[in-house]
Amino acid sequence: MGMPSDLEIARRAELVPLEEIAASMGIGSHLLEPYGRGVAKIGLGAIDELADRPRARYVLVSAVTPTPLGEGKTTTMVGLAQGCKHIGKRATVTLRQPSMGPTFGIKGGAAGGGYSQVVPMERFNLHLTGDMHAVTAAHNLLAAMVDNHLHFGAEPPLDPRRVTWRRVLDVNDRALRNVVIGLGGRVDGMPRETGFDITAASEVMAVLALATSLTDLRERVGRIVVGRGPDGSPVTAEDLRAAGAMAVILRDALQPNLLQTLEGTPALVHAGPFGNIANGSSSIVADLIASRGGDLLLTEAGFGADMGAERFFNIKCRVSGLAPDAAVLVATVRALKAHSGRFRIVAGKPLPEAMLAEDPDAVHAGAANLVKQIDNLRIHGVSPVVAINAFPTDHPSEHEAIREIADSVGARVAVATHVMDGGAGAVELAEAVVEAADEPTEFQLLYPDEADLRTKIATIATRVYGADDVEYTPTAAKQLADAEKLGFGRLPICLAKTHLSLSSDPTLVGAPTGWTLPVREVRVAAGAGFVYPICGEMRTMPGLGRSPAAHRIDLDEQGEIVGLS
């Protein structure tokens, strides 16, 4: 008999009362707002109430450059937290809330897997406490007020040809990427081209993740730029008198959501910004609370240690003031085999048969990516621990190959079987992480605020991605100069590129060298507080596949959800 499904495992879990979970972090019941069974919001007052408690060791969970199937960062992080409990350490995890677009698309949910999950699984993946919908509503309120502003020709003037604020929806829907609105009569609005993005790609979502308080949230929302006036000056949400109402919609959404792992360790689930054009990490307020709630705080960043970790360090930590003590770099046999260039992996399709055969040589052939990602952590002064996320199809010789690669550059390494064995399967990893986190660190940002935008971009491109140079289109060069002129030069960089390669070409595996980073466009997220150069085609509204997960998700005769994964 095979292993039960993730949903079956989650349903069998005996949940610890959330008051007990919160109490283990020092959070009183007066700060909890229950949302049904197994979920509660935590009041922001917890930040001040916990301020005198010792600070937890802060550990980032990142990964090698992922395959289209993902390498299990969330599962590893949850397993690690449970493993810490087995060695007498109290760990809390903070993680993003998944978008329902991927949940009903190819990727599926994001609560972890096997015996290393956050529960209740259904609530985690579907709606939770409505934060996603609050972001959608706040974003689209601003969009409606943009078009209302145009309709009435209000002040300050807004050029309809230079409106940049689109609408959002938490569904994969390629047909909405580009639309024309305002069709009909004169009272139906001004006809113009626009489009939809998925909610996770909204700047409002990035603002929610980076805000440190309600006051900060209100100020950031007001700074959002929706377009330009006829003279080229930025027009903001504050100018449209929309920011106050948006902040009201987002007030409750700024409170983190408390859940738990299968083994009763606390999990704060909050915010879900896109990992390729935004900061790609869970919220700062969740980390501020969890940083005083135990011995270790484990958090993750989207995609690999190039995109996710770099943004975590240079955007999130720059805002929060929290400094990481160690980092976990998740690696899998299949990822390193993929980086050998010998196999072709397609999202939604089974792995090639040849890839499942014992082949430590193929693992060694993909070593360059692991070594580069270890270096990407070390250049920020953070000590890495390589976590081998073991799959049943792996072979011991292949795990040994990864150990040899990590040993060759002096990195700690541990094999984890947390999917099959829960926390007991992550004890070796927990011991290695605690050891690394207890060592003195000298965390450092990659560049200072004072550096100009071109210098910041070049630093990331050459030091993190391994590019030789950066090349700008005339449009991008003009936009970059414009951003500096408007006073955005001190903002950090969120470099938007493919997550499937260290380079800007998704087909290049390993650690490519001898290439130039092409910047085709530069945008400013003034509310979130970063500049994002766009390198390649970025899809901000995914489409559904031929056989999406939505085909399999349903209700059974007892009204229970089936098919969720």
| Res 321 pLDDT > 60 | yes
Across 292-303, average pLDDT: 95
Q: Which pLDDT value is given to residue 454?
A: 97
Question: The pTM is what?
Answer: 0.95
| Tokens standing for residue 184 | 């009909």
- Compute the mean pLDDT over every residue in the chain, rounded to the nearest whole number: 94
Kindly report, residue by residue over 56-106, the tens digit of the pLDDT: 999 999 999 988 777 899 999 999 999 999 999 999 999 999 888 888 887
Please report the domains of the chain, with CATH numbers, ordered by start residue.
Answer: 31-123+256-437 (3.40.50.300), 131-252 (3.30.1510.10), 453-534 (3.10.410.10)
Q: Which pLDDT value is given to residue 204?
A: 98
Residue with tokens 């993902």: 70
| Res 334 pLDDT > 90 | yes
Q: Which is it for the CA torsion 367, 440, 494, 147, positive or negative?
A: positive
Q: 293 Cβ partners below 8 Å, 6+ apart?
A: 24, 25, 26, 27, 50, 53, 56, 90, 92, 266
Q: Which pLDDT value is given to residue 415?
A: 98
| Res 349 pLDDT > 80 | no
The CA distance from 482 to 204, in Å, is 23
Contact 26, 292 (CB under 8 A): yes
Across 31-35, average pLDDT: 97
Kindly report, residue by residue over 263-291, the tens digit of the pLDDT: 999 999 999 998 888 899 999 999 999 99
Q: 223 Cβ partners below 8 Å, 6+ apart?
A: 236, 237, 238, 526, 527, 529
- Tell me which of 307-316, 320-329, 444-453, 538-547 is least confident: 538-547
Kindly report, residue by residue over 43-59, the tens digit of the pLDDT: 999 999 999 999 999 99
H helices of 348-389, in order, are 353-356, 360-365, 367-378
Q: Give the confidence band of 443 by pLDDT, cuts at 50, 70, 90.
A: very high
In Å, how far from its chain's centre is CA 258? 18
Percentage of residues in the chain having pLDDT higher than 90: 82
Across 145-173, average pLDDT: 96
Contact 428, 414 (CB under 8 A): yes
Name the strand (E) or helix (H) holding 317. helix 317-320
| Res 37 pLDDT > 70 | yes
The CA distance from 412 to 408, in Å, is 10
H helices of 67-202, in order, are 73-86, 100-103, 121-125, 131-152
The CA distance from 489 to 58, in Å, is 29
Q: Which pLDDT value is given to residue 82?
A: 98
Q: Which pLDDT value is given to residue 1?
A: 56
Across 145-151, average pLDDT: 97
H helices of 93-130, in order, are 100-103, 121-125
∠ CA(210), CA(291), CA(295), 5° rounding? 150
* Upper half-sphere CA count for residue 69 (Cβ side, 13 Å): 15
The CA distance from 65 to 329, in Å, is 10
Q: Which amino acid is at 22?
A: A
Kindly report, residue by residue over 385-442, the tens digit of the pLDDT: 999 999 999 999 999 999 999 999 999 999 999 999 999 999 999 999 999 999 998 9
